[in-house]
């Protein structure tokens, strides 16, 4: 019994460390992209910690399954790559809209079916375009810090074969050490507990359409649907509508302190749903409880995390983010360009999304999705 509890606690700790260490730089890039102050960025991270801890605890206890939640990494990548957002308040408005749409999906079954009917190739192309911009941003750091960036890229390529689960975390730790040796680390500010900054949303139409709607779509298509698949592959049958209702409500509540969407986890969930979490599948829900405990610490010390990461050089953070997203980008591009019948539409969606261009103030992710669907519709029309 005791060994099972220890294994559940350790699996949950690894899932938390991997999830936070590998993707927090992406969240911080998102905060920087919308002009968040250090206090707002700290509140953002703490809000995500609250949403993740609360939703994972509630769902794991209620359904006796290891229902693991997390922040939306593709969502953070979308925010980081979206230009033209007029400020933090407008971003919060988009976060509120995305959360409301998730709640509506939980309440209205036909809406969930509509999302599921978006062709995988087009959804993958949109996500691939979003991730491509951040991976390219990593490569653009090579002329500025060649030793740091190239060393970490090589390290990542090796570690993904040696220790794939912890590859991003190893890159972060090794990169911080190398940056310190090179004299690139700034003084670390005093560590302390987080405070929440309540934001009043601004309802900017272009941001709602160009950021809020794509944020909802990538969260559903790239996080929630794979999250359900991971649980089902492990032998669990999670109730989709209550799970979406809880994650949507958590996202809505924490949007007002600057947090973007929370959702089902995929990689972190895989660490907590297998035999390494507990030998008895019926007892693996304990890992979900410990996972919530570890994430509550993220909520408490979000300001300290932001301070620690803020002391690291931007080139390091962009390299950690870029390498962490490299595998997801490759998978997205493969899914997008695989089906020959959809290839032209997917390529168009990818190109428009990756361009970063705005039209009528609306970001490229939305237009990439629209363009891809239009091209696909025309292709199928003339194919008849």
Q: What is the tens place of the pLDDT at every residue in 185-222?
A: 888 888 788 889 999 999 999 999 989 999 998 898 77
Q: Which two tokens stand for residue 335?
A: 């899914």
Q: Which range, 74-83, 105-114, 196-205, 334-343, is most confident?
A: 196-205
**pLDDT of residue 46 exceeding 90:** yes
**pLDDT of residue 336 exceeding 90:** no
Torsion of CA 271, 272, 273, 279, to 10 degrees: 110
**Nearest-angstrom CA–CA distance, 210 and 220:** 16
**pLDDT of residue 18 exceeding 80:** no
Asked whether 168 and 156 are in contact (CB, 8 A), the reply is yes
Q: Report the pLDDT value the prediction gives residue 347, as an integer from 0 to 100.
A: 92
Reported confidence tier of residue 3, pLDDT bands at 50, 70, 90: low
User: Closest by alpha carbon to 335, among 345, 346, 324, 321?
Assistant: 346
The helix/strand/coil state of 86 is coil
| HSE value, Cβ hemisphere, 13 Å, CA-based, for 5 | 2
Q: Report the pLDDT value the prediction gives residue 30, as an integer from 0 to 100.
A: 94
Q: What is the mean pLDDT of residues 354-378?
A: 84
Q: Which two tokens stand for residue 124?
A: 């993958």
Give the H/E segment covering residue 222. Answer: none
Q: Report the pLDDT value the prediction gives residue 2, as an integer from 0 to 100.
A: 59
**pLDDT of residue 312 exceeding 70:** yes
Q: Which two tokens stand for residue 27?
A: 């969240």
Mean of the per-residue pLDDT values for the chain?
Answer: 87
**Nearest-angstrom CA–CA distance, 31 and 374:** 32
Reported confidence tier of residue 360, pLDDT bands at 50, 70, 90: confident
User: Closest by alpha carbon to 365, among 134, 142, 138?
Assistant: 134
Q: What is the mean pLDDT of residues 68-84?
A: 89
Reported confidence tier of residue 263, pLDDT bands at 50, 70, 90: very high
Asked whether 69 and 263 are in contact (CB, 8 A), the reply is yes
Regarding predicted confidence, which is higher, 125 or 268? Answer: 125
Q: Which two tokens stand for residue 179?
A: 């940056």
Q: Report the pLDDT value the prediction gives residue 369, as an integer from 0 to 100.
A: 85
Asked whether 75 and 261 are in contact (CB, 8 A), the reply is yes
Reported confidence tier of residue 8, pLDDT bands at 50, 70, 90: confident
Q: What is the mean pLDDT of residues 162-188?
A: 87
Q: Report the pLDDT value the prediction gives residue 98, as an integer from 0 to 100.
A: 97
What is the gyration radius of the CA atoms in the chain, in angstroms?
20
Domain parsing of the chain, residue ranges: 2-383
Contacts of 381 (CB under 8 A, 6+ apart): none
Report the Cα 304 to chain-centroid distance in Å. Answer: 21
Q: Which two tokens stand for residue 83?
A: 């230009």
Write phi, then psi, for 84 (nearest 5 degrees).
Answer: 90, 5
258: left (phi over 0), alpha (psi -120 to 50) or beta: left
Asked whether 294 and 16 are in contact (CB, 8 A), the reply is yes
Q: Report the pLDDT value the prediction gives residue 321, as an integer from 0 to 100.
A: 80
pLDDT digits (tens, 9 = 90+) for 224-247: 887 887 788 778 888 888 999 999
| Tokens 């996080």 found at | 223
């Amino acid at each position: 019994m005791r060994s099972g509890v220890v294994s559940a606690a350790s699996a949950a700790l690894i899932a938390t460390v991997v999830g936070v260490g590998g993707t927090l730089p992406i969240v911080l890039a998102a905060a920087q992209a919308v002009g968040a102050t250090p206090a707002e960025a700290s509140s953002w991270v703490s809000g995500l910690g609250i949403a993740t801890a609360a939703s994972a605890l509630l769902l794991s206890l209620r359904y006796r399954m290891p229902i693991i939640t997390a922040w939306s990494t593709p969502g953070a990548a979308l925010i980081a790559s979206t230009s033209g957002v007029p400020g933090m308040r407008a971003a919060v408005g988009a976060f509120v809209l995305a959360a409301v749409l998730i709640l509506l999906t939980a309440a209205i079954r036909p809406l969930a079916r509509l999302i599921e009917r978006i062709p995988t190739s087009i959804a993958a192309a949109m996500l691939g375009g979003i991730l491509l911009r951040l991976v390219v941003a990593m490569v653009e750091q090579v002329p500025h810090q060649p030793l740091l960036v190239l060393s970490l890229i090589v390290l990542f390529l090796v570690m993904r074969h040696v220790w794939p689960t912890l590859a991003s975390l190893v890159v972060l730790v090794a990169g911080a050490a190398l940056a310190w040796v090179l004299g690139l680390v700034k003084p670390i500010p005093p560590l302390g507990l987080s405070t929440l900054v309540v934001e009043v949303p601004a309802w900017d139409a272009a941001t709602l359409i160009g950021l809020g709607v794509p944020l909802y779509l990538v969260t559903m298509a790239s996080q929630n649907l794979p999250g359900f698949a991971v649980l089902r592959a492990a032998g669990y049958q999670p109730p989709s509508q209550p799970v979406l209702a809880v994650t949507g409500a958590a996202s809505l509540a924490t949007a007002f302190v600057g947090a973007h969407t929370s959702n089902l986890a995929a990689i972190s969930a895989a660490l907590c749903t297998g035999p390494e979490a507990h030998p008895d599948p019926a007892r693996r829900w304990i890992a979900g409880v410990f996972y919530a405990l570890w994430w509550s610490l993220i909520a408490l010390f979000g300001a300290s995390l932001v301070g620690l990461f803020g002391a690291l050089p931007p080139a390091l953070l962009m390299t950690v983010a870029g390498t962490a997203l490299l595998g997801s980008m490759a998978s997205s591009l493969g899914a997008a360009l695989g089906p020959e019948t959809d290839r032209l539409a997917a390529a168009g969606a990818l190109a428009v999304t990756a361009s970063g261009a705005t039209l009528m103030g609306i970001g490229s992710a939305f237009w990439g999705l629209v363009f891809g669907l239009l091209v696909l519709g025309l292709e199928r029309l003339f194919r008849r």
